[in-house]
């Protein structure tokens, strides 16, 4: 019986349902939802912009409250966390973001895989934790009119000289979930690696080959990623692609070739979605708007 309950619990987490049948996002379907997105953030040192970005997020939150947060990976530098007792949890996460009083729905990046990636999943149920959420390595949940799909684009790749192909198992899971939630007003997929990037790492060829066709076939509205330590926006085939890698780690130069916007800077993304409109605002470490895009339905 214990094993059956454990399997059921995992299934509910992966498809996005929590206790009592409530969706994990906990924002009513008819309500507007506001989300803050950060990536590549958990770093300290001279080049770190994490404290400034976190302060700017708190400033925006005081004026217009966020309901949830999203992370697009590389949550802890340089090598993830060791376990639930790792001091990085306090210094790079709780001390920076707990004051917001919201839950962050996280994804894994290549630096997270250099440590104990499973510890970040398990920490969701750690005693005293009220803000960190990663019920599985990939999962889906709804908040307001948005259905979110959190991916593991890394799947154990350390990101040095070669990358593992994006797995058929995860690809099938995403296709099944996108089909199941086809009626969602807005569909937002997010993970660590960008499909398109004019930054240091460039396009992720394996995702362009295997993930992009899935997003196109199911008419996904937005794909969010990090990995390149900068802020970018592309529009390709009616899909909005944002790189939000300015959460704290040292930034890198970008060479604008195709992007509608690309800048070497620290910052975050503010997403606000109602039934008929979604606004995506990229803000710098001072909270000022760098770039914005409005979608309508």
| Residue pLDDT tens, the chain, 297 long | 444 434 433 444 444 443 333 466 677 677 899 999 999 999 988 889 999 999 999 999 999 999 999 999 999 999 999 999 999 999 999 999 999 999 999 999 999 999 999 999 999 999 999 999 999 999 999 999 999 999 999 987 655 555 677 889 999 999 999 999 999 999 999 999 999 999 999 999 999 999 999 999 999 999 999 999 999 999 999 999 999 999 999 999 998 788 999 999 999 999 999 999 999 999 999 999 999 999 999
**122 domain-assigned:** yes
Q: How many domains in the chain?
A: 1
Look at residue 15 in the predicted model and tell me its pLDDT. 45
pLDDT digits 0-9 by tens, 139-149: 999 999 999 99
The first and second tokens of residue 283, run together, are: 């803000």
Chain position carrying tokens 């909270």? 287
Asked whether residue 223 is domain-assigned, the answer is: yes
Let me know if residue 17 belongs to a domain.
no
On whether residue 6 sits in a domain, the answer given is no
In a domain, 266, yes or no: yes
- Characterize the bridge pairing of strands 267-273 and 231-236: unpaired
Residue 16 lies in a domain: no
On whether the pTM is more than 0.85, the answer is yes
The answer to whether residue 1 sits within a structural domain is no
pLDDT tens for 246-272 read 999 999 999 878 899 999 999 999 999
Which of these, 139, 142, 43, 59, lies nearest to 99 by C-alpha position?
A: 59
- 276: domain CATH number? 3.60.21.10
5 belongs to a structural domain: no
Residue range(s) defining the domain that contains residue 122: 32-296
Q: List, in order, residues 6 or more apart from 35 with CB less than 8 Å away.
A: 66, 67, 68, 69, 70, 143, 146, 270, 271, 272
């Amino acid at each position: 019986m214990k094993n059956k309950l454990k399997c059921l619990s995992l299934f509910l987490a992966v498809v996005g349902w929590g206790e009592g049948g409530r969706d994990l996002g906990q924002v009513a379907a008819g309500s507007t939802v506001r989300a803050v997105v950060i990536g590549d953030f958990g770093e300290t040192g001279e080049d770190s912009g994490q404290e400034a970005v976190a302060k700017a997020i708190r400033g925006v939150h005081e004026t217009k409250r966020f309901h949830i947060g999203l992370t697009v990976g590389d949550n802890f530098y340089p090598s993830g966390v060791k376990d639930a007792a790792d001091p990085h949890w306090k210094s790079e996460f709780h001390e920076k973001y707990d004051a917001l009083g919201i839950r962050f729905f996280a994804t894994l990046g290549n630096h997270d895989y250099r440590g104990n990636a499973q510890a970040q999943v398990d920490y969701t149920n750690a005693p005293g934790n009220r803000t960190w959420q990663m019920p599985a390595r990939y999962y889906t949940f709804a908040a307001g009119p948005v259905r979110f799909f959190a991916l593991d684009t890394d799947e154990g790749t350390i990101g040095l000289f070669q990358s593992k192909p994006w797995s058929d198992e995860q690809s099938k899971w995403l296709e099944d979930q996108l089909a199941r939630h086809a009626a969602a007003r807005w569909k937002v997929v997010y993970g660590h690696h960008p499909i398109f990037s004019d930054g240091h790492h460039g396009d992720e060829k394996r995702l362009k080959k295997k993930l992009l066709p899935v997003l196109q076939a199911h008419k996904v509205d937005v794909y969010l990623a990090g990995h390149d330590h900068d802020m970018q926006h592309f529009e390709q085939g009616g899909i909005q692609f944002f790189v939000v890698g300015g959460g704290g780690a040292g930034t890198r130069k970008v060479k604008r070739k195709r992007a509608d916007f690309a800048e070497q800077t620290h910052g975050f993304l503010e997403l606000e979605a109602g039934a008929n409109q979604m606004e995506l605002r990229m803000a710098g470490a001072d909270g000022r708007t760098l770039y914005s895009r409005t979608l309508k339905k």
